[in-house]
Amino acid sequence: MVLSEDPELQPVLSGLFLSMYLVAVLGNLLIVLAVGSDPRLHTPMYFFLCNLSLADIGLISTTVPKMVVDLLTHSRVISYRGCLAQMSVFILFACIEDLLLTAMAYDRFAAICHPLRYHVIMNPRLCVLLVFVSFLSSIFVSQLHNLFVLHFSLFRDVEIANFFCDPSQVLSLVCSDTFSKNTVISFVATVYAFLPVSGIFFSYYKIASSILRIPSSGGKCKAFSTCWSHLSVVCLFYGSGLGVYLFSNISSSTRKGAVASLMYTVVPTLLNPYIYSLRNRDIKSALRRLSRRTG
């Protein structure tokens, strides 16, 4: 579908979303360049942040370019293969981001609760292993969706009620077996929602307990400030995802559903680099040094 039926408004919307896409990609690329070019940022926290930025670029690239083309061409149909490919890549990057946020919570837990053993716990081998496992696990769940759709689907073209192949909509279209569909959704929700969120909550429970034992208020503020950016991104990612899920169950409007999905795919990706750079002295210093070298 298109977000507006007004032909005069669609070029404006396409320009707006294209600008948001370019800003989001540029912001995340700057984070990657800053971390990669500055040896002082070669730490576990910034290693995970660099991979999170790459996942953000992949996530937004699966939705916005297609939406911009749809706005300009008034396209309402996505091909069977295109739907599967888009859904697979979208799930891949969304799950990677989900698991990376969990790994970053564990990193903050190790830094605050075990500061003397931090570099032993968060050694380079463990960091690479966590990213690698996140990638492999995300490939597994994305292919699980594809295999499930391929098992039930007999169509070659599908008209979707959104500007991208939303996995929940695809499952509803191709599967009349409610039990099988709910089984897949429950499995994915448990592995990639309940368990990561539980890990993040447990990490911050331990972090809060450790911070409260710090005698000085200045020490408490300093310890909490190292978690502020990560907490903000976690709330943005899960909050927007929960909002889309609740809104899709309440509203029957496909256009409003598209706007809700836009919030989930574009807004977190657009804001993440600014959340991490505006309040982060290390990133700002690295960006200034990078601009001096390239200027």
Please give the Cα distance from 21 to 60 (Å, whole number).
7
pLDDT (0 to 100) of residue 288:
84
Please give the Cα distance from 128 to 117 (Å, whole number).
18
Q: What is the Cβ-side half-sphere exposure of residue 284, based on CA atoms within 13 angstroms?
A: 8
Render pLDDT for 169-219 as a digit per residue (tens, 0 to 9).
Answer: 666 665 555 666 667 667 766 777 788 889 999 999 999 999 888 888 887
pLDDT (0 to 100) of residue 47:
95
pLDDT (0 to 100) of residue 84:
80
Please give the Cα distance from 142 to 93 (Å, whole number).
9
DSSP class of 1: -
Res. 289: pLDDT tops 70: yes
- pTM over 0.75? The answer is yes
Per-chain mean pLDDT for the chain: 81
pLDDT (0 to 100) of residue 28:
93
Res. 256: pLDDT tops 60: no
On whether the CB atoms of residues 84 and 186 are closer than 8 A, the answer is: no
pLDDT (0 to 100) of residue 164:
66
pLDDT (0 to 100) of residue 129:
97
How many Cβ atoms sit within 10 Å of the Cβ of residue 58? 18
DSSP class of 163: S
72: Cβ–Cβ under 8 A, 6 or more apart, which residues? 10, 11, 14
% of the chain with per-residue pLDDT over 90: 31
Render pLDDT for 20-73 as a digit per residue (tens, 0 to 9).
Answer: 999 999 999 999 999 998 888 999 999 999 999 999 999 999 888 888 887 787
Given pLDDT bands bounded at 50, 70 and 90, which one contains residue 142?
Answer: confident
On whether the CB atoms of residues 86 and 165 are closer than 8 A, the answer is: yes
DSSP class of 5: S
Which fold would CATH assign to domain 9-294? Answer: Rhopdopsin 7-helix transmembrane proteins (1.20.1070)
Long-range contacts of 232-238 (CB under 8 A, 24+ apart): 232/275, 233/52, 233/101, 233/268, 233/272, 233/275, 233/276, 234/101, 234/105, 234/200, 236/267, 236/268, 236/271, 236/272, 236/275, 237/97, 237/98, 237/101, 237/268, 238/197
Residue type, 41: L
Q: What is the mean pLDDT of residues 144-148?
A: 78
SS3 category, 214: coil
Which range of 121-135, 217-231, 254-268, 269-283 scores highest in mean pLDDT? It is: 121-135
pLDDT (0 to 100) of residue 16:
87
Which range of 8-17, 43-52, 166-175, 249-258 scores highest in mean pLDDT? It is: 43-52
SS3 category, 158: strand
pLDDT (0 to 100) of residue 242:
74
